[in-house]
Amino acid sequence: MARRDRSGSSSRSSRPARPGQESHRPPTRGSRGPAEPRWPSGPVPITTGTAEVQRSPDDPDAVTLLVNGVPSSHLDLSDPERLDFEYMQQMAAVLDHLPADGGLRAVHLGAAGCALARWVHARSAGSRQIAVDLDPELVRLVREWFDLPRSPALRLRAGEARAELATLPNGGADAVVRDVFAGDRTPEHLTTEEFVRDVARALRPGGVYLANCADRPPLGLARAEAATAGAVFAHVGVVAEPSVLRGRRYGNVVVIGTDDPDLLADSALARDLRSLPVPARLLTADELAAFVGRTPPLRDAAPETGPDPEVDE
């Protein structure tokens, strides 16, 4: 059965590991960096299941990190500015329009292989980033397997995304990226208005929230996430391939929230998104209102309450 990955495409489950795992050393194109990373062949156990690195059959420098058999990150080991997942290309186009003097302060909720964090580090000198993943063993392994920026350029944290977000200072981040999945869906508590308000608290004035929402027709979740962002941010947009926005297939919708009135109104951003290898469309203002319709924001579930205690007469 085909599984959906976090990039919105379908993939086949990986085969189990074979006895006598051998080690792969990824090639580089004349790099003089630290010792090349290594990884075993086949799935290896992590706290929440398994992780596996698969090399691309037609590109020796490209690898895919699978978590529980599902593609979670694609990395070009010799070119950190290459992003293959289309929703990451869309997020990168938005980040490229942020002021970056002295680098970006970015928070990544859902680290996996840190593909977007590598892109930010290569693209914006002086950036300081935090990447959070629920699985502590995966955090350790991606440090071991891939040539990731070292702290303080990139700090990796093992923890639950909302709990780690709550520890961040007010107004310290230029961007908060949410890319967290359990199976093919984002956990509900990371989609609500209360969560997004805490994201807004952590952002500096003019900062941006980027959320990867994987959805299928009729895009009820994407509409609800856009409505939720609109309950918190003054300016909201959604980005996706036109066929996804028209409800023709399963795919990724990037939800954008900001208090900067110029970011989403910039015609250059819409042009950059249309110019991607797979062109994407940006909906804002009236088009976004039509997309959202009457969909209400998502809220945290009310705490359960027990029956009233009996009172002796």
What CATH number does residue 140 fall under?
3.40.50.150
Domain count, the chain: 1
Neighbour-count burial for 206-219, b at 16+ CB within 10 Å, e otherwise:
ebbbbbbbbbbeeb
**47, part of any domain:** no
Calculate what percentage of the chain has a pLDDT beyond 70: 85
pLDDT, one tens digit per residue, over 65-74 is 999 999 999 9
Which amino acid belongs to residue 305?
T
Which amino acid belongs to residue 20?
G
Q: Is the per-residue pLDDT at 234 higher than 50?
A: yes
**67, part of any domain:** no
Whole-structure pTM value: 0.86
**234, part of any domain:** yes
Query: 269 — alpha (psi -120 to 50), left (phi > 0) or beta?
Result: alpha
> Of the candidates 100, 165, 95, 103, which has an alpha carbon nearest to the alpha carbon of residue 130?
165
Q: Is the per-residue pLDDT at 24 higher than 90?
A: no
**309, part of any domain:** no
**34, part of any domain:** no
**152, part of any domain:** yes
Contacts (Cβ under 8 Å, ≥6 apart) of 220: 295
Residue 192 belongs to what domain range? Answer: 86-292
Q: If 0-12 CB within 10 Å is exposed, 13-18 middle and 19+ buried, where does residue 29 land?
A: exposed
CB of 111 closer than 8 Å to CB of 132: yes
**77, part of any domain:** no
**37, part of any domain:** no
